Structure 1
């Protein structure tokens, strides 16, 4: 048994465990086991019943507000288990400070995370805060509403209906983001040449409506990834990357990003792919598996998401990832999703219309064929391909990076697949 993000060991009771109580109450239910050394050796507690009372008193006297928790004693080894539940009345403070878990360590939260905890405890969000800007105008929003929803008039009542204006006539952050001019970061779009040191074109859209940012990103995509082809007497538009996939990826980046982070959405346009990097990881309550599978929608920015839904720019019920995958249904190369704590990267490869990839080496193609329609661990792939483990892992890494193969899971549970989505 080892320490984990939601499991901590304490050989004895000292006040340091109270920081972890704060962390679990703020960010997710966890357990602290007393009577176990850091290396997992069980030593037990000499008087567990008296120690439980001591733990209870320390929590009640030191954590504000007091979280929900339970204490239990293992009669066989005298180990005490303290289980702390994630609470609703955040932030939970120890000595006026809030804490979170960083892998197996407990650290103090920064100002940004503390603000988020306060808003969460108030059942509010960043986009609902009042804007500090005055004299905001909504030309882009008005045009979209009249064009898509056939809105006849645009007024304060419209803004209230869209939840962009409160009863005191204050525009909120969501409203500011939709205004013609705002105080926020935006999108940085770069078209690269044969290397990242060669920038052929660049557009930075900051402090302007997110609706305009969306349109400008689509325009630049069409400029470099679409062309007209004349067939017989008709003219057809050919897309090197499915437009539906690009639109979904950009809209999701704008709606789901963390706007309290001062950073642009990065859109890198390469000869072989487009990469979209959005600040902020997954919304709270969504796992990586749920995100990739689709069908679940937890909006970090509910108001902004509702506007995009009304304008037919996103689907409300979390189908964006599925729609991106469906756009690549007939392509050998598939989108790549890279999720970290602070960002989400979506890589959209140029479509390969051949039935079999023609850019793979003989060894790469052998593994690709083995995986087509199956899901296997690297050890099984190495055995079937008659390759060494190191060589197999190296090939798999490249196939994943190039979008031919998908990787799911972590550690020994990681499996690789082709055409399963």
Structure 2
């Protein structure tokens, strides 16, 4: 089920808009200490981009939609040509829709570097072992979709042992598990058996291996 944030009147002060939308979970704060399901920097960047690059001739507002498995940040106005959503996943030129506003945000350090925002969002999601974000043009506007870490839905059919089920529960909470962490979960089981457990989960596509093998 989607939960839609209250609309903000676009005539309000720009800095109020950004701080209000970027701090929608804890009023007055843009940063928090505990672990989030999504990288906070990616949420903040997507919100600032939506406000900076929206079409201010449109009566529509920036929308933040929260679903069980994703967050969608939408703004009225499409990408300026020749940019396409595919271009945003690689190095690209910055083509501000609102140059004066974008320059102001750059000067006050709300925007760190020109033309790197979407690549930074991708990087932050990868660092948190999350699926790559989706950039798309939809309903006369542009949307950034941040997706939550997902465990495959067909686990019951995979015939997992109790140790592997314990590993899956750990993954649901922490989004990753190392050989050493699995050993700590099952201290009475030898390493070779645990290694085979993890390889079996990989072969069944319940988990994916990332990086080099470590103890």
Q: TM-score higher than 0.5 here?
A: yes
2:145 aligns with: 347
1:291 corresponds to 2:94: no
Does the Cα contact within 8 Å between 1:255 and 1:305 map onto a contact in 2?
Answer: yes
Alignment of 1:70-81 (within 5 A): none
Deviation at 1:340, TM superposition (A): 4.3
- Relative to structure 1, is the Cα distance of residues 286 and 238 closer, same or farther in structure 2, using a 3 angstrom cutoff? same
- TM-score, normalised relative to structure 1: 0.33
Greater percentage in strand: 1
1:257 aligns with: 54
**Which structure is larger by alpha-carbon Rg, 1 or 2?**
1
Alignment of 1:18-417 (within 5 A): 195-196=1-2, 199=3, 202-206=5-9, 207-222=11-26, 236-330=33-127, 331-340=129-138, 342-350=140-148, 352=149, 357-361=150-154
- Relative to structure 1, is the Cα distance of residues 316 and 342 closer, same or farther in structure 2, using a 3 angstrom cutoff? farther
**Counterpart-to-counterpart distance in 1, 2:139 and 2:7:** 25
Deviation at 1:240, TM superposition (A): 1.6
Deviation at 1:270, TM superposition (A): 2.5
1:402 aligns with: none
Instruction: Give the unaligned 5+ runs of structure 2.
Output: 159-209, 211-215
- SS of the equivalent of 2:75 reads strand
Does the Cα contact within 8 Å between 1:274 and 1:349 map onto a contact in 2?
Answer: yes
Does the Cα contact within 8 Å between 1:258 and 1:279 map onto a contact in 2?
Answer: yes
Does the Cα contact within 8 Å between 1:294 and 1:320 map onto a contact in 2?
Answer: no
- Relative to structure 1, is the Cα distance of residues 257 and 294 closer, same or farther in structure 2, using a 3 angstrom cutoff? farther
- Relative to structure 1, is the Cα distance of residues 221 and 332 closer, same or farther in structure 2, using a 3 angstrom cutoff? same
Cα-Cα RMSD: 2.7
- SS of the equivalent of 1:204 reads coil
Instruction: Give the unaligned 5+ runs of structure 1.
Output: 1-194, 229-235, 366-418
- SS of the equivalent of 1:274 reads strand
Q: Deviations over 1:57-104 (max 9, x none)?
A: xxxxxxxxxxxxxxxxxxxxxxxxxxxxxxxxxxxxxxxxxxxxxxxx
Does the Cα contact within 8 Å between 1:325 and 1:334 map onto a contact in 2?
Answer: yes
**Counterpart-to-counterpart distance in 2, 1:279 and 1:294:** 24
Deviation at 1:254, TM superposition (A): 0.8
- Relative to structure 1, is the Cα distance of residues 227 and 342 closer, same or farther in structure 2, using a 3 angstrom cutoff? closer
Q: Deviations over 1:231-274 (max 9, x none)?
A: xxxxx521121011011101111111111111111111223321
Deviation at 1:342, TM superposition (A): 2.4
**Counterpart-to-counterpart distance in 1, 2:104 and 2:152:** 42
